[in-house]
């Protein structure tokens, strides 16, 4: 191996280190989002405290949204106080498969709202920064749902 | 004041007045007649224009059997039209004097008669829009009086209020009003409110980027 090969090898190694460092930094920024969430004794409290508040998830889940999400699973709940409706919905969850169905509904609802946020961001670029923050919260919320599943259902 | 600017400012004043009124209280016959009579206003309600029930029912029946029922569902029963619910992590409404929006109103001497407005707190969407209406009206008057510096300060307040408050939370609420509306009227009203708030924020951002220079925005170098 001559000096030129050695220098090329060193250059590649430095590039690799740089890429790994950047990847680790970006992983850490995502993890910080997840880790900033508190620990809860059960999944129902975890979801109510972390997913239902618009300030945390960037998404408003109304009473009718909960009813519509349940209807997608052929379930029906009476319109009631929002928190009570949420509890009724969660009490339906008995197995990991049920939880997967519920998570799918939440993620679908989140995606629908984020698509609308993106449309508004494109149409009104000055609002993009505000909508982007909501989309970021929503994406973090979807990851949190997976975490809840792993923590309480596996 | 240049005609284009005058018309633009007047339109902003009128639209804020209209949407704050619609989102604050039930529609009455006077308001419905005003909307139906004025082609410009009616053009903001394209689905309502085509709505069968509007054509078949008397105004009184339309209000009592359709619009007021829908208003109750969307503003009093099932959805939450208060900013604090959307910005607080505990999902609670702040009805007391510690409400940051109330504190802001106090700074501007903007008094909210909660009983009269029939709202629980000053951060109700209708009240926040009325605050914008008052600011736009004050800006318009300042421009008419040739007080461009004062007008620019008021426009900056509007920009900050939209950025920190209405644009931050109102679309989340209004999107649900749109999707849950049981009448074409409130579907259109929610759509109008979202589109207007966001487009007005575009306008104010543009004005801010020109350092609140009305001349730069209108391309008028001759003053007012």
User: B37 CA to chain A: closest CA distance, Å?
Assistant: 31
In Å, how far is B75's CA from the nearest CA of chain A? 12
Interface test with A, best of B167, B186, B209, B210 (most A CBs within 10 A): B167
Q: What is the structure's pLDDT at A35? A: 56
Distance linking the first and last C-alpha atoms of chain A: 52
* Cross-chain CB nearest to A55 (options B79, B80, B86): B86
Q: How far apart are the first and last CA of chain B?
A: 4
Token pair recorded at residue A25: 């930094």
Read off the pLDDT of residues A8-52 as tens digits, 9 standing for 90 and up.
Answer: 655 564 555 555 444 444 444 444 455 567 788 899 999 999 999
Q: Do B194 and A55 touch (CB under 8 A)?
A: no
Place of tokens 């109304």: A62
pLDDT surpasses 50 at A151: yes
In angstroms, the CA A104 to CA A107 distance is 5
Which parts of chain A fold into alpha helices (H)? 3-35, 43-50, 54-57, 63-72, 82-91, 96-123, 128-153
- Domain match, A12 and A61 both: no
Residues A111 and A44 in one domain: yes
Tell me what the mean pLDDT of segment B133-162 comes to. 95
ipTM confidence: 0.91
- Cβ separation B180–A64 shorter than 8 A: yes
Same domain, A90 and A147: yes
* Structural domain of A143: 39-153
Q: Do B194 and A62 touch (CB under 8 A)?
A: no
- Chains A, B: CB contacts under 8 A, how many? 61
Are residues A130 and B78, on separate chains, in Cβ contact within 8 Å?
Answer: no
Which residue did the predictor score with more confidence, B7 or A33?
A: B7
Domain count, chain A: 2
Determine whether the interchain pair A126/B171 forms a contact, defined as Cβ–Cβ distance below 8 Å. no
Same structural domain, A106 and A48: yes
Contact between chains at B172 and A54 (C-beta distance less than 8 A):
yes
Residues of A in CB contact (< 8 Å) with B are 52-56, 59-60, 62-65, 79, 113, 116-117, 120, 123-127, 130-131, 134
Whether residues A141 and A88 share a domain: the answer is yes
Taking contacts as CB-CB distances below 8 angstroms, the residues of chain B near A124 are 198-199, 201-202
pTM for the complete prediction?
0.87
List of domains in chain B:
3-218 (1.10.3480.10)
SS3 category, A92? coil
Residue B112: pLDDT over 70 = yes
Same domain membership, residue A114 and residue A96: yes
């Amino acid at each position: 191996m001559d000096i030129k090969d050695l220098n090329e090898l060193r250059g590649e190694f430095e590039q690799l280190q740089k890429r790994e460092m950047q990847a680790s930094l970006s992983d850490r920024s995502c993890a910080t989002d997840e880790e900033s969430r508190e620990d809860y004794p059960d999944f129902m409290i975890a979801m109510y405290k972390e997913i239902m508040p618009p300030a945390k998830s960037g998404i408003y889940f109304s009473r009718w949204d909960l009813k519509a999400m349940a209807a997608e699973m052929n379930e029906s709940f009476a319109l009631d106080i929002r928190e009570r409706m949420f509890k009724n919905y969660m009490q339906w969850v008995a197995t990991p498969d049920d939880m997967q169905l519920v998570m799918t509904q939440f993620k679908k609802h989140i995606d629908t709202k984020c698509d609308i946020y993106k449309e508004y961001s494109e149409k009104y670029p000055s609002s993009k920064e505000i909508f982007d923050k909501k989309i970021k919260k929503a994406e973090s919320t979807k990851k949190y749902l997976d975490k809840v599943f792993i923590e309480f259902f596996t | 004041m240049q005609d284009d600017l005058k018309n633009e400012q007047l339109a902003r004043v009128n639209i804020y007045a209209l949407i704050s009124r619609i989102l604050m209280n039930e529609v009455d016959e006077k308001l419905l007649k005003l909307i139906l009579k004025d082609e410009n206003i009616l053009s903001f309600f394209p689905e309502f224009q085509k709505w069968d029930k509007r054509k078949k029912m008397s105004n009184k029946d339309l209000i009592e059997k359709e619009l007021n029922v829908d208003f109750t569902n969307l503003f009093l029963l099932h959805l939450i039209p208060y900013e604090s619910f959307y910005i607080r992590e505990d999902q609670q409404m702040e009805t007391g004097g510690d409400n940051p929006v109330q504190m802001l109103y106090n700074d501007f001497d903007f008094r909210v008669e909660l009983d009269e407005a029939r709202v629980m707190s000053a951060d109700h969407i209708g009240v926040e829009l009325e605050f914008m209406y008052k600011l736009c009206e004050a800006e318009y008057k300042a421009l008419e009086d040739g007080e461009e510096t004062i007008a620019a300060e008021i426009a900056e307040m509007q920009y900050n209020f939209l950025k920190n408050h209405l644009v931050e939370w109102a679309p989340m609420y209004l999107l649900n009003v749109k999707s849950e509306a049981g009448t074409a009227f409130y579907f259109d009203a929610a759509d109008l409110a979202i589109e207007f708030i966001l487009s007005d924020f575009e306008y104010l951002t543009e004005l801010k980027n020109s350092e609140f220079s009305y001349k730069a925005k209108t391309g008028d170098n001759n003053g007012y």
